[in-house]
A and B are shown apart, each in its own frame.
Chain A
Amino acid sequence: MLFATLEHILTHISFSTISIVITIHLITLLVRELRGLRDSSEKGMITTFFSITGFLVSRWVSSGHFPLSNLYESLIFLSWALYILHTIPKIQNSKNDLSTITTPSTILTQGFATSGLLTEMHQSTILVPALQSQWLMMHVSMMLLSYATLLCGSLLSAALLIIRFRKNFDFFFKKKKNVLLKTFFFSEIEYLYAKRSALKNTSFPAFPNYYKYQLTERLDSWSYRVISLGFTLLTMGILCGAVWANEAWGSYWNWDPKETWAFITWTIFAIYLHSRTNPNWKGTNSALVASIGFLIIWICYFGINLLGIGLHSYGSFTLPSK
C-alpha cells in the first residue's frame, strides 16, 4: 500500500512537471526564448528524471522483479532511457544538437505512458513462468535502451532529411525566380558565413573547426554516432534474447514475430551503417534509411504487441479484468 501511494505521488509529480516543461517549450517555440525559462525547463527535466527513477525503484522493490513486465513499465523505462541519453553529452560538457530530440521524446513518451494508457494497465503484473529469469533484466533493458537510442538517431536523420528537402525546395524556387538575385544572395550568405565563422574563431578559440560544420553535417555526424551506439545495444539485446530463448523456449531462434521484427530493425540499421560507407549515398540516402528505421522500431516495439501474436505477447494489452 505504501508503495502504491509512493508510486502514485511520483507519477503525479513527474506528470505535472512534464506539463510545465511542455508549456515552457511551447512558449519558447511560439513566443520567444527566455533565458530563465530555459533553465527551469532543464530543472524540470531533472525533477522528472528523479521521480521516474524513484518510481522504477519503488516498483522494483514492491513487485520483487525488474519493472519491465508490461507495456506501461517499459514505456516509463523508455522515457528514462531517453533521459539518460539526454544527460550523457551534458556530463561530457560537449555542445550538441541531441537534446533538441531527446527532451521532447522523453516528455512525449512519459506523457503517453501516463495519460494514453488505461489506468488498469498501470498496475504491476505478476511474472509468468517464462519471464522468471535473470535474463529479463538484461534482455529487456538492453532492447529498450537500444530502442531509445535508435529512435533518437533516426529522428536526427529525419530532421536532416527535412532540412535538406526544404533547402532543395527553396533552391528550385529561387532558381525559377531570379538567377541573378540568387547568386548575389548566395555570395552574400557566403560572406556572412565566413565573417561569422571568423568571429566564432575569435570568441571560441577552442573550437575553430567545430563551426566549419554546417547544421546538416553536424546532424549527420550525430545521428551516425547515436545510431552506431544504438546498433551495438540492439545487437546485444537480440543476442541476450537468443540465449534466453535457448534456455526457456528450447531454441535460440524461433522466428517469432517480435524476434523477426527486431531482426528487421537490426537489418535496416545495418543497411544504414553500410550505406554510409558509400560517399554518394551518405547524407540523404542513409538518412532516408534511418527514417524508415524509425517506423520499423515502432512496429517492432508497439505493433507486434498490439496484434498480440507470437510468444512475446506478454502483459501488453491484456486487461486484468478479463
Chain B
Amino acid sequence: MPSPASYLLINPAKPSSFRRLPPPPPSPRLPTRRLHVSCDAPRGSGRSGGVGGRRETIPAGASKAKKQIVFFDAAPPVSQPQPQQGGSVVEKGESEKPTKEGSGNAALSLLRRATKKTLAALSNLPLAISEMFTIAALMALGTVIDQGEAPSYYFEKFPEDNPVFGFITWRWILTPGFDHMFSSPVFLGLLALLAASLMACTYTTQLPMVKVARRWSFTHSGERIRKQEFADSLPRASIQDLGVILMGAGYEVFTKGPSLYAFKGLAGRYAPIGVHLAMLFIMAGATLSATGSFKGSVDVPQGLNFVIGDVMKPRGVLSVAPDVFNTEVHVNRFYMEYYDSGEVSQFYSDLSLFNLDGKEVMRKTIKVNDPLRYGGITIYQTDWGFSALQVKKNGEGPFNLAMAQLKLNGDKKLFGTFLPLEDSNASNPSVKGISMLARDLQSIVLYDQDGKFVGVRRPSSKLPIEINGNEILIEDAIGSTGLDLKTDPGVPIVYAGFGALMLTTCISYLSHSQIWALQDGSTVVVGGKTNRAKLEFSEEMNRLLDKVPELIGANENVVDSKSTAT
C-alpha cells in the first residue's frame, strides 16, 4: 500500500548512506577548496555522460557564467569553479599512488590487504552488535552469579552430582572465571574486541562519512531532487526567497545559479565519531586505572596516625609509588552526627597530613561524599568502629577498655567490652564482671555480673552508675575511623572521556538536514533529507515552504531570463 514516496521516506539515512549520496555522473560536482578529498564516484567521466533525467538541466558551463550568490559568510569559496580537467587530474594522481606503491613491495601490499581485511571484519556492524549483546549477557550473568566467593562456595552451590538446570556445575563457572566476571579474561577480551571494533568503525566508516558530508553538493538534476525523502515543487516561486527563508530557519544556504544547497545540524553528523572516541578514552582510562592504581583501607582509632605508604597496595603492573606515600596521616578527631531519631546522619574525621620533616602540610575534616585529596592521593571516609571506652572505677583510672565488634546479622553494628571485678587466676577462670554494650558512640548499655540490665549511660553525661557496689563512670567513648585510600592515574582520562561523551551524545541528538533546490522555469523543485528527525523535518519543511511567497506575473520574466542564459 505505501506509495513509492512513502517507501522512500522509510529509507534510512544512515552512516553508510554516503555511498548512495555521491551524485551520478551527469551532475557536475562543484570542486570545493579541498580538492585532495577523493571520492569513489568517477568524476572526470561525468562530463561526457548524457545529462540525467528527462528534464533539461542547465549545463555547468551556463551556471558558471551566471552570477553566484553566497548567502552565508563562512561559505567555502564556491565562487571559484575551477576547470573540470584540473580537478580530474588531481583525482587521477591520487588514485594512482597506492597502486604504484603496492606493486613495488609485495609483502607490504599483502600486509596492507590483511589490515584492510581485518578492519573490514572488525567494523562489521553485525559483529559489533553481537559483541555488545554478549557483553550485556555476561554482565547480567555477573550479577546473577555471586561474585568473588571462595571456590568451596561454588562447589557447594553448583554441585556436580546435582547440577543447576540439569547441566550447570561449578566447572561451568570456575573454568571461564565467571566467579570474578568483571576481571575474567573472557569479559576483558570481549571489551578489548569491542574497543577494536570501535576504532575500526571510526576509521573505515565514520571518517569517510565526514569527508562526504563536508562538501556542499549542488545538484542540477530535478529528477534527483524529486527522489529525495522529502520532495515538493513550488510553482511560481523564486529560489532566492526560499534561500532567505531557509536562512531564517537556521540553515546555511549556498546558491549557485539556479540551484541551491542548504544544510543544518552538521554537528549531528560528526558527533557519533566523538561518541566513539569518548568511549575509547573511557576504556583507555579504565585500563590505566586497573593497571596503575594503588588502594588501601585502614581502621585508625582517634588520636593515632599511620603512614600512607604502609596501607597502600599496588593493583597492577604499572603502579608506581609516588613520593607523597611517606606522608603521615594523623586522625585528630573522629565523630558522628545523629538525627533526632538516633540514626547516624554523618561521619567526620579531622585529618592532618605531615610530611617527612614533621610539618603539617594539610588539614581537613572529611566526611562521606567529601574526601581529602593531596598529591594524587584521595582519602575517603567509609567506615567507623568503636575503639575503646575510658572508664573510671571507684574514682580510679581512667582505664581504657578495648571494644570488640560482636558478630550480628544485618548491617547494624554492636560493640562490647568487659570490666572484670575480681582478679582472674588459674583456680578461678570464670571471672565475673560488668559487661558493656554499645551500638554507637552515643550510649552504653551496662549489665551487672549476673548479666542483668542495670542502666544506660551517655559518655558525655558524667553521671556515675552503681553496679555490684562499684561506682562506674564512663569518661569517654573513643571511635575509630575507617578510611579508604587510593591513587588513580586513570581518573583524569576517564573524566575527560565522560565530559566528551556527555557533550557528544547530546549533539548526536541533532539531525543533519540537507536541502537541495533547483529553479526550473518558474517552479522551484525542493528536495531534502535528514538523518534523524524525519517527521519533524517534513513538518518543518512544509511550514517553511508555505512561507515562500508566490510570484505573480513575474514567472514570465524568470523563464525569459533563463532561456537567454541557456
Instruction: Decide: B14 and A264 in contact? CB cutoff 8 A.
Output: no
Interface centre among A135, A221, A257 (most CB of B within 10 A): A221
Interface size on A, residues (CB 8 A): 69
Please name all residues of chain A whose beta carbon is closer than 8 Å to the beta carbon of B371 when the two chains form the complex.
Answer: 247, 250
- Whole-angstrom distance between the Cβ of A252 and the nearest chain B Cβ: 6
Given contacts A205-B546, A207-B542, A278-B14, contact A129 B346 (CB under 8 A): yes
- Whole-angstrom distance between the Cβ of A253 and the nearest chain B Cβ: 7
Please name all residues of chain B whose beta carbon is closer than 8 Å to the beta carbon of A181 when the two chains form the complex.
Answer: none
Given contacts A126-B345, A217-B10, contact A209 B538 (CB under 8 A): yes
Mind listing 14 A-B residue pairs with CB under 8 Å?
A94-B536, A132-B369, A209-B9, A209-B541, A210-B535, A210-B538, A231-B505, A235-B501, A243-B498, A248-B380, A251-B488, A252-B494, A263-B139, A276-B12
Verify if B374 is at the interface (C-beta below 8 Å from A).
Answer: no
How many Å lie between the Cα of A206 and that of B382 in the bound state?
62
Residue in A closest to B2 when the chains form the complex, CB atoms: A214
How many Å lie between the Cα of A235 and that of B508 in the bound state?
12
- What is the 8 Å Cβ interface bit string for chain A, positions 178-198, against chain B (1 contact, 0 not)? 000000001001100110010
Given contacts A189-B1, A235-B501, A255-B182, contact A213 B369 (CB under 8 A): no
Which residue from A224, A229, A271 sits with its C-beta under 8 Å from B133?
A: A271
Given contacts A133-B369, A208-B542, A277-B14, contact A213 B143 (CB under 8 A): no
**17 other A-B residue contacts (CB within 8 Å) besides A210-B535, A277-B16, A304-B143:** A126-B345, A128-B344, A133-B369, A209-B9, A212-B6, A213-B6, A213-B535, A228-B532, A229-B509, A232-B505, A243-B498, A248-B369, A248-B380, A250-B484, A257-B143, A267-B133, A274-B129
Verify if A242 is at the interface (C-beta below 8 Å from B).
Answer: yes
Please name all residues of chain A whose beta carbon is closer than 8 Å to the beta carbon of B147 when the two chains form the complex.
Answer: 255
- What is the 8 Å Cβ interface bit string for chain A, positions 301-313, against chain B (1 contact, 0 not)? 0001000010000
Verify if A130 is at the interface (C-beta below 8 Å from B).
Answer: yes
Please name all residues of chain B whose beta carbon is closer than 8 Å to the beta carbon of A263 when the two chains form the complex.
Answer: 139
Instruction: Decide: B508 and A232 in contact? CB cutoff 8 A.
Output: yes
How many Å lie between the Cα of A214 and that of B7 in the bound state?
10
Instruction: Decide: A271 and B139 in contact? CB cutoff 8 A.
Output: no
Instruction: Decide: B505 and A186 in contact? CB cutoff 8 A.
Output: no
Verify if B188 is at the interface (C-beta below 8 Å from A).
Answer: no
Which residue from A127, A239, A260 sits with its C-beta under 8 Å from B498?
A: A239
Which residue from A225, A252, A279 sits with its C-beta under 8 Å from B491?
A: A252
Instruction: Decide: B501 and A212 in contact? CB cutoff 8 A.
Output: no
Please name all residues of chain A whose beta carbon is closer than 8 Å to the beta carbon of B12 when the two chains form the complex.
Answer: 276-279, 282
- What is the 8 Å Cβ interface bit string for chain A, positions 219-242, against chain B (1 contact, 0 not)? 011101100110110011001001
Q: Which 9 residue pairs across A and B have the least CB separation, nearest first?
A: A129-B368, A277-B14, A212-B6, A133-B369, A209-B538, A267-B136, A257-B143, A255-B182, A279-B12
Q: Count A-B pairs with CB separation below 8 Å.
A: 170
Please name all residues of chain A whose beta carbon is closer than 8 Å to the beta carbon of B286 when the two chains form the complex.
Answer: 253
Residue in A closest to B11 when the chains form the complex, CB atoms: A279
Residue in A closest to B5 when the chains form the complex, CB atoms: A212
Instruction: Decide: A264 and B139 in contact? CB cutoff 8 A.
Output: yes
Please name all residues of chain B whose beta carbon is closer than 8 Å to the beta carbon of A274 when the two chains form the complex.
Answer: 125, 128-129, 132
Which residue from A128, A217, A224, A250 sits with its C-beta under 8 Å from B382?
A: A250
- What is the 8 Å Cβ interface bit string for chain B, positions 12-50, against chain A (1 contact, 0 not)? 101110000000000000000000000000000000000
Instruction: Decide: A228 and B508 in contact? CB cutoff 8 A.
Output: yes
Verify if B347 is at the interface (C-beta below 8 Å from A).
Answer: yes
Please name all residues of chain B whose beta carbon is closer than 8 Å to the beta carbon of A231 when the two chains form the complex.
Answer: 505
Given contacts A205-B546, A279-B12, contact A126 B509 (CB under 8 A): no
Residues of A within 8 A of B (CB): 94, 96, 126-130, 132-133, 135, 186, 189-190, 193-194, 197, 205-210, 212-214, 217-218, 220-222, 224-225, 228-229, 231-232, 235-236, 239, 242-243, 246-253, 255, 257, 260-261, 263-264, 267-268, 270-271, 274-279, 282-283, 304, 309
Interface size on B, residues (CB 8 A): 70
Residues of B within 8 A of A (CB): 1-3, 5-6, 9-12, 14-16, 125-126, 128-129, 132-133, 135-136, 139-140, 142-143, 147, 181-182, 230, 232, 286, 295, 339, 341, 343-347, 367-371, 378, 380, 382, 484, 486, 488, 491, 494-495, 498, 501-502, 505-506, 508-509, 532-536, 538-539, 541-543, 546
How many Å lie between the Cα of A282 and that of B10 in the bound state?
9
Please name all residues of chain B whose beta carbon is closer than 8 Å to the beta carbon of A225 when the two chains form the complex.
Answer: 532-533, 535-536
Instruction: Decide: A250 and B486 in contact? CB cutoff 8 A.
Output: yes
Interface centre among A94, A128, A235 (most CB of B within 10 A): A235
- Whole-angstrom distance between the Cβ of B235 and the nearest chain A Cβ: 14
How many Å lie between the Cα of A137 and that of B347 in the bound state?
21
- Whole-angstrom distance between the Cβ of A200 and the nearest chain B Cβ: 12
Instruction: Decide: A214 and B6 in contact? CB cutoff 8 A.
Output: yes
Please name all residues of chain B whose beta carbon is closer than 8 Å to the beta carbon of A197 when the two chains form the complex.
Answer: 3
Residue in B closest to A95 when the chains form the complex, CB atoms: B539
Instruction: Decide: B495 and A129 in contact? CB cutoff 8 A.
Output: no
- Whole-angstrom distance between the Cβ of A85 and the nearest chain B Cβ: 15
- Whole-angstrom distance between the Cβ of A141 and the nearest chain B Cβ: 15
Interface centre among B139, B346, B546 (most CB of A within 10 A): B139
Please name all residues of chain A whose beta carbon is closer than 8 Å to the beta carbon of B344 when the two chains form the complex.
Answer: 128-129
Interface centre among B286, B339, B346 (most CB of A within 10 A): B346
Please name all residues of chain B whose beta carbon is closer than 8 Å to the beta carbon of A279 when the two chains form the complex.
Answer: 11-12, 14
Instruction: Decide: B542 and A129 in contact? CB cutoff 8 A.
Output: no
Instruction: Decide: A261 and B538 in contact? CB cutoff 8 A.
Output: no
Interface centre among A135, A231, A260 (most CB of B within 10 A): A260
Which residue from B5, B129, B506, B534 sits with its C-beta under 8 Å from A221?
A: B534
Please name all residues of chain A whose beta carbon is closer than 8 Å to the beta carbon of B535 when the two chains form the complex.
Answer: 96, 210, 213, 218, 221-222, 225
How many Å lie between the Cα of A229 and that of B533 in the bound state?
11
Please name all residues of chain B whose beta carbon is closer than 8 Å to the beta carbon of A267 when the two chains form the complex.
Answer: 132-133, 135-136, 139
Given contacts A94-B536, A132-B346, contact A212 B9 (CB under 8 A): yes
How many Å lie between the Cα of A247 and that of B373 in the bound state?
11
- Whole-angstrom distance between the Cβ of A305 and the nearest chain B Cβ: 13
Instruction: Decide: B1 and A186 in contact? CB cutoff 8 A.
Output: yes
Residue in A closest to B140 when the chains form the complex, CB atoms: A264
How many Å lie between the Cα of A261 and that of B341 in the bound state?
34
- Whole-angstrom distance between the Cβ of A225 and the nearest chain B Cβ: 6
How many Å lie between the Cα of A206 and that of B139 in the bound state?
49
How many Å lie between the Cα of A251 and that of B182 in the bound state?
15
- Whole-angstrom distance between the Cβ of B19 and the nearest chain A Cβ: 12
How many Å lie between the Cα of A222 and that of B508 in the bound state?
16
Please name all residues of chain A whose beta carbon is closer than 8 Å to the beta carbon of B369 when the two chains form the complex.
Answer: 129-130, 132-133, 135, 247-248
Residue in B closest to A318 when the chains form the complex, CB atoms: B411
Given contacts A130-B369, A261-B143, contact A270 B1 (CB under 8 A): no
How many Å lie between the Cα of A149 and that of B27 in the bound state?
44
Instruction: Decide: B501 and A126 in contact? CB cutoff 8 A.
Output: no
Instruction: Decide: A260 and B539 in contact? CB cutoff 8 A.
Output: no
How many Å lie between the Cα of A19 and that of B549 in the bound state?
51
- Whole-angstrom distance between the Cβ of B498 and the nearest chain A Cβ: 5
Given contacts A133-B369, A217-B10, A236-B502, contact A207 B3 (CB under 8 A): no
Residue in B closest to A263 when the chains form the complex, CB atoms: B139
Please name all residues of chain A whose beta carbon is closer than 8 Å to the beta carbon of B230 when the two chains form the complex.
Answer: 209
Which residue from B11, B498, B532 sits with its C-beta under 8 Å from A224?
A: B532
- Whole-angstrom distance between the Cβ of B367 and the nearest chain A Cβ: 7
